[in-house]
Amino acid sequence: MTADLFSDMAAQDATPQPQSLCPGAVLLRGLALPDQHDVLADLDRVMTDAPLRHMITSRGFRMSVAMTNCGQLGWVSDRRGYRYDSSDPLSGRPWPAMPESLLRLARRAATAAGHADFLPDACLINRYQPGARMGLHQDRDERDLGQPIVSVSLGLPAVFQFGGMLRSDKPLRVPLQHGDVVVWGGPARLNFHGVLALKDGVHELLGAQRINLTFRRAG
Ligand code: MD6
Ligand code: FE
């Protein structure tokens, strides 16, 4: 009873207790909530400058998740494969700068997870509408795999699949809600992961979608 009361209080605090998912990955429930209004206003501006789009995989499939980026580098996929690029292929211009509110949130989360020197140069913005999903994959296109990834969930809840180093390792299922942050690095950095198909629903601030931000040190 007392323990439940304290963990509920921690979930609403600006610095929730980190929950370990496995060595190297921590879940910070609700950590983004204090910044949510600034973050959502800044994201609107970013998505006006660099609109969400469905990228094509190297095998020619259209991704169900729509994406854009901000920061010095952006993750892109096309028939040539995956890479980080300093300009938006839709406009030919540099990606929008990373807004202060996003950088502040990413650094606060990394620090809470023990990575006080994290300085992201890329933020990938993923938009899921009902039915959109992300298959199991590894994030291995970043130069320094010693740097963590900070992943922020906004809008509708989703189930994050979190596996091991091998594609065949059976993944854990972690429910993620609006405001939750996962920080992921060290021995978990190359673990396979994905997102199950988004269920129908309407979020009070974001409507029928989930937005995920992943902050990386890519260059
Ligand atoms: C998502 N996230 O949550 C997709 N990758 O929409 C990722 O692919 C991801 O959350 C690396 C580290 C954390 C992540
Ligand atoms: Fe990923």
Model confidence over 176-187: pLDDT tens digits?
A: 999 999 999 999
Q: Model confidence over 49-100: pLDDT tens digits?
A: 999 999 999 999 999 999 999 999 999 999 999 999 999 999 999 999 999 9
Q: Which atom of ligand 1 is nearest to the CA of 137?
A: 8
The 10 Å CB-count burial string (b at 16+, else e) for 15-49 is ebebbebeebbbbbbbbbbebbeebeebbeebbee
Q: Which residues surround ligand 2, an ion (CB under 5 A)?
A: 139
Asked whether the predicted pLDDT for residue 163 surpasses 70, the reply is: yes
Residue 207 CB-density burial (10 A; 0-12 exposed, 13-18 middle, 19+ buried): exposed
Q: Model confidence over 99-145: pLDDT tens digits?
A: 999 999 999 999 999 999 999 999 999 999 999 999 999 999 998 99
Is the Cβ atom of 182 under 6 angstroms away from ligand 1?
yes
Asked whether the predicted pLDDT for residue 161 surpasses 90, the reply is: yes
Give nearest CA residue, ligand 1 atom 13: 151
What's the whole-number average pLDDT of the chain? 93
Positive or negative torsion for Cα 12, 18, 22, 24? positive
Domain ranges of the chain: 18-216
Measured between alpha carbons, how far is 42 from 11 in angstroms, rounded to an integer? 25
Is the Cβ atom of 184 under 6 angstroms away from ligand 1?
yes
Whole-number Å distance, alpha carbon 2 to ligand 2 midpoint, is: 36
Is the Cβ atom of 124 under 6 angstroms away from ligand 1?
no
Residue 136 CB-density burial (10 A; 0-12 exposed, 13-18 middle, 19+ buried): middle
Measured between alpha carbons, how far is 92 from 22 in angstroms, rounded to an integer? 40
Measured between alpha carbons, how far is 152 from 165 in angstroms, rounded to an integer? 22
Give nearest CA residue, ligand 1 atom 8: 194
Q: Read off φ and ψ for residue 198, nearest 5 degrees.
A: -65, 135
- CB-CB contact of 187 with 24 (8 Å): yes
CATH code matching the domain that covers 18-216, chosen among 3.30.950.10, 3.40.50.300, 2.60.120.590, 2.40.110.10: 2.60.120.590
